[in-house]
Structure 1
Amino acid sequence: MGIICSSQPTTVDAINSQYYLNKVLRRVNGNSDCQRSLTFKKDLHTLITPSPAFHLKPEGYEIEVNANGIFISYADYSGYVYALESLSQLIKQNRIPFVKIQDQPLLEYRGIMIDSARHFLGVAAIKRLIESMPLSKLNILHWHLVDDESFPIKLGSHPELSENSRYGAKQIYTPDDVRALIKVADLNAVKIIPEIDTPAHVRSWGLAPEWKAKNITIKCNGGTGYNGQFDLSKPEVFGLAQDVVKEIDALFKDSPYIHLGGDEVSSACWNLRPEIQNFMKLKNIKTYGELQMYWRFQLKQVLPANRKVIFWRNDAQNVTTSADDVLHYWGAQTDGQGNLWLNGTQGTYSVWRQIYENFVVFPTGVDKNRILGAEVCLWGEVSNEDTLENNLWMRSSAFAGRVWSSTILKTHELVGNLVAIQYALYDMNVDASPVTSEFCEHKPEMCWPPAQAEQKKEEAIVTEV
């Protein structure tokens, strides 16, 4: 650690740090020459001098700009990245004011979910998304890899799954693609969490001739007309799913979690096959909720003993979870069963201001210490590679402000922050949606008078008490 601009990095952290410094300087100045990059006050050339700071919580950082230069301290590599991003957003007309900032995250999990099963997302688009996330201090990319519609990842254990369900010859992720994206994520202080959703949403698994012959999936009534659910009376299903989970976990071995889905399991669908009820009697399983727990237990048998696993959760699913499961909530949020859990934002399409003012970080009646974080979920039915960035930005940046800091900004202050991020994204050729009109970009106090913003701030605080 402690890299200065002119140093020759030798350790992994040092190499990553130099990469990120150069990334920010190229965006700000058009080159990576540290000595010529910034001026402030009396046009003094500056040198960025970083150093570790062990008194900060993970991902935290401090910035001080004074007459002697720019000094940043940080708890870890993530803190270093966020310090540089915050510093870059302070720059106005190639000048930076004297400041002293200490900053650290409110929540440890601050994520975006993407869905590459409904619409395939190219590796370049995902890479650009990962590189965009640190600007808003978002650190988790939840990757909903497979679903009813397609299974677009090539696996050595079962290549037939992708061969028979991908949209086109090139619309597939190879293990090398995944490893390349993980490397990019590491450089940008992002962790990728893979999701393999079962036992529902599995129509694509049953399309290969060998699995179609075994009739492993059930066509469920209702929904979109192509919903698929595993027939858990068939022993081959358990072996297949375990193979997939084991290989995905090995591929993403450095991810802090693996997400095993578990949402929208239909009892009516399982009712279509009497063999399932016979299987349950044989195993002394009394309810479909217990059947799901049995399924989850079997999947976790192929994971390392200490592996952290996430499952979707809402009150409509009567499933008793294991004490060590992380629950990913969507819909109603009235229980928690003692687990750590994540808050998933979804519902009607919201603009950035609605998200910022209405998102409840800590729901009433829930122990704050059990909440790991939250994410925005961009499902892929009506979003593709062409609309991905416009849909995510700048709404995700507004969300990020709520899960990073407990301080609720006045609207004109928030707009100033979002506009700085917006133009930084433009410098990276990211197709972000504009925050507001150009007039309001330059005069946010006129568009959102501070008195009105303060009232909104008080209303937002009340919702979290």
Structure 2
Amino acid sequence: MGVQKIFFLFMAVHYVLADEDTPVWRWSCDDGRCVKIRNDPKFTEPALSLESCKMFCNEYGLLWPKPTGYTNLGTYLSKINMNTIEVHLDKRGRSDDLMEAIRLRWKKLVTQAVPKFVIPKASGKSMDVYLLNQNPDLIKFSLDMDEGYILNISPAANEKVNATIIGSNFFGVRNGLETLSQLIIYDDIRNNVLIPRDVTIKDKPVYPYRGVLLDTSRNYFSIESIKTTIEAMAMVKLNTFHWHITDSQSFPFVSKKRPNLTKLGAYSPAKVYTKEMIGEVVKFGLERGVRVLPEFDAPAHVGEGWQDTGLTVCFKAEPWAKYCVEPPCGQLNPIKEELYDYLKDIYADMEDAFQSPDMFHMGGDEVSERCWNSSEEIQHFMIQNRWDLQKPSFLKLWNYFQTKAQERVYQAFGKKVPIILWTSTLTELSHVEQYLNKDDYIIQVWTTGADPTIRGLLEKGYRLIMSNYDALYFDCGYGAWVGSGNNWCSPYIGWQKVYENSPKLMSLEYSDQVLGGEATLWSEQADSATLDGRLWPRAAALAERLWAEPLSSWREAERRILHMRERLVRAGIQTESLEPEWCYQNEGYCYA
């Protein structure tokens, strides 16, 4: 950054030091980093605050995630009066209520730029924000929706600043507002609110699926903690909250058609998720550009709640390690025709509660042939069908279940929807095409990023979502809860590894088949009290990777993620700390 640009920055802010103490410190941009300097009272130019310096000291300023298209933050900062900001909506349609919701939320975000209990000066320019929604009737999520936007900020007559956001739909406009909120900063030297005056940003995400999974079965999470997670996701432009809502340990989802599942399976009557509670989360997510994707994991990972149905096998079997990966064991019995009536009812209740989601996750994780083989009834069924009791035949049994369950999903939803399954023995390359149609199924990869199955599935034409556990399992690195030592996927995964986990490098010429990625938080050792720290700011690192697929390393991003972490804290997110605050104020000194 040249001396001339710094001079323009000083001149544009029009600082007045009268009746104020001379600041002790100032910051100066030197070779892409903000350097903390003891202020000399004889220094004739106004002292530059830390955030003001950071805004212009690199190409992307304080933005997170970095934009993917043309980005120009200009060279000037203008003082603005927060009390005179007006947001104008354009082109009325079905998204009217959503546009009003993002207008109100944005005005709240702007106030978070100022520290609590501080009242900034009411001086500065008025600001008009114009939101141009080119398709005001589009309010549904899809994998091919356009989330891009164009943002322009420029001076206007009558001592005003104008900001215009153009999006092809509500989701693009929402993302543009998120970026605009990051451009409003607080000058703690002179108690002013500032914004870059000449800005042009053209931006859109690289991947359409950018998610966080939360398992609410192993431990229960309050609705407020879930909404807090979605709020933080919106701040970094993640767009999918994957709700792993049931498992073998508990069944908190309230099925109106099958209420006994919850009565028997919830940890307590208070620890449930009703249609009304889920609807509140879905609405909250939509207003923040975050889809809420339900998962009903089957045929394994079931147990509590199913006790009186007679539709499971090996539930609470011991020794559990013989039949499943963690207690309690349990799998659905695929030969019971009544099971598929239950499934259709559960799917229909989920379709209703989650308000017709554009996708559905059917799980398919960790199915155990030993569990099924422990049932004489299942053995008899397989022999009658001229199957033996070897692994290939249990895959046929699994396919028997999956085919019938898939049909029930389509019946419950009233249409075909994309179905997501975890990688498993069913998705092995030798037979995946025999069992799963690539046009019907999306495969979510949880094995390592170096797994050759990834390339094999891509070569066969499957679409993938990356959740490789070696970089995206946020429950790793804690003490074991079955046995001693650390848990199975230790060590802890730092934000740097999350940031470097590139779907493009894993898929190369097939990258167009990779829909994106997802951080997962399995909750054996997490609950509402620990949720924020488990996810943040590591999920923010994932957000930039999936939005921008940056060519640069985490080192370039380190200074910006420290600021993003500060923004999350100001929003009430109890994030983990990455470094001492000294590193935030002294850029470039904490990494060799």
Report how far residue 255 of structure 1 moved.
1.4
1:280 aligns with 2:386: no
Tell me by how many angstroms 1:427 deviates.
2.5
Of the three residues 321, 324, 327, the one matched with 2:443 is 327
- Report how far residue 240 of structure 1 moved: 1.9
* Paired residues of 2:215 and 2:522 also in contact (CA < 8 A): yes
The residue type equivalent to 1:288 in the other structure is F
Q: Give the root-mean-square deviation of aligned CA atoms.
A: 2.8
Equivalent residue number for residue 424 of structure 1? 567
In the alignment, the residues of structure 2 paired with residue 362 and residue 174 of structure 1 have an alpha-carbon distance, to the nearest angstrom, of: 41
Greater C-alpha radius of gyration? 2
Q: Which deviates further from its counterpart, 117-126 or 238-247?
A: 238-247
State the Cα distance separating 1:409 from its structure 2 match: 4.2
After TM superposition, give the deviation of residue 392 of structure 1 in Å. Answer: 0.5
Give the AA of the match of 1:330.
W
Q: Which residue is 2:461 aligned to?
A: 338
Cα deviation 1:86-135 (Å, max 9, x = unaligned): 12112222211122111100000000000000010111111121122111
Q: 1:7 to 1:90 in 2, by over 3 A?
A: closer
Whole-Å separation in 2 of the counterparts to 1:315 and 1:369? 25
TM-score, length basis structure 1? 0.86
1:303-382 alignment runs, 5 A limit: 303=410, 304-314=414-424, 318=428, 319=432, 320-323=435-438, 324-331=440-447, 332=451, 333-334=453-454, 335-336=456-457, 337-347=460-470, 348=490, 349-364=492-507, 367-382=510-525
Name 2:481's counterpart in structure 1.
Answer: none
Output the CA distance in 1 between the equivalents of 2:404 and 2:204: 39
Question: Matches of 2:89 and 2:199 in 1, distance apart?
Answer: 25
Instruction: Select 2:330's aligned residue among 221, 224, 228.
Output: 228
**Structure 1 7/272 Cα, relative in aligned 2: closer, same or farther at 3 Å?**
closer
2:98 is matched with which residue: 6, 13, 16?
16
- State how 1:91-170 maps to structure 2 within 5 Å: 91-93=184-186, 94-97=193-196, 98-170=198-270
Match of 2:151 in 1: 63
What percentage of residue pairs aligned between the two structures are identical?
25
Pair 1:238 & 2:340 matched? yes
Q: Is the 8 A contact 1:361 1:403 kept in 2?
A: no
Matched, 1:177 2:258: no
Report if the CA contact (8 A) 1:398-1:418 is conserved: yes
1:28 alignment partner in structure 2: 110
Contact 1:216 1:230 (8 Å CA) reproduced: yes
How far, CA to CA, are the matches of 1:420 and 1:84 in structure 2?
Answer: 18
Q: Which residue of 1 aligns with 2:584?
A: 441
Aligned counterpart, 1:293? 399
Are 1:46 and 2:114 matched, yes or no?
Answer: no
Distance 2:285 2:145 in 1: 21
Gap runs ≥5 in structure 2: 1-85, 114-118, 136-143, 157-161, 187-192, 471-489
Give the aligned partner of residue 87 of structure 1: 180
**Quick one: which amino acid aligns to residue 174 of structure 2?**
V
Rounded Cα–Cα distance in structure 1 between residues aligned with 2:591 and 2:552: 12
CA distance in 2, matches of 1:299, 1:57: 28
Equivalent-residue separation in structure 2 for 1:405 and 1:28 (angstroms) = 24
Q: 1:408 to 1:447 in 2, by over 3 A?
A: farther
Give me the whole-angstrom Cα distance separating, in 1, the residues matched to 2:257 and 2:241: 25
Q: Residue 195 of structure 1: SS of its match in structure 2?
A: strand
1:414 shift after superposition: 1.6
3-state SS of paired residue (1:432): coil
1:47–1:344: structure 2 CA closer, same or farther, 3 Å change rule? same
Which segments of 5 or more consecutive residues in structure 1 lack a partner in the other structure? 32-36, 450-465
Q: 2: CA distance between counterparts of 1:440 and 1:53?
A: 43
Q: Aligned in 2, Cα 1:255/1:353: closer, same or farther, shift over 3 Å?
A: same
Amino acid at match of 1:161: L
Whether the 8 Å CA contact 2:302–2:329 is kept in 1: the answer is yes
Report the Cα offset of residue 204 of structure 1.
1.6
CA shift for structure 1 position 435: 3.1
1:30 Cα offset (Å): 6.1
Residue 407 of structure 1: SS of its match in structure 2? coil
* SS of match in other structure, 2:356: coil
Contact 2:239–2:290 under 8 Å retained in 1: yes
Q: How many residues align?
A: 436
Q: Is the 8 A contact 1:27 1:427 kept in 2?
A: no
1: CA distance, partners of 2:222 / 2:518: 22
1:407 to 540, 550, 562: 550
Shift of 1:345: 3.6
Distance in 1 between the 2:340 and 2:170 partners? 40
- Answer whether contact 1:38 1:46 (CA < 8 A) is retained: no
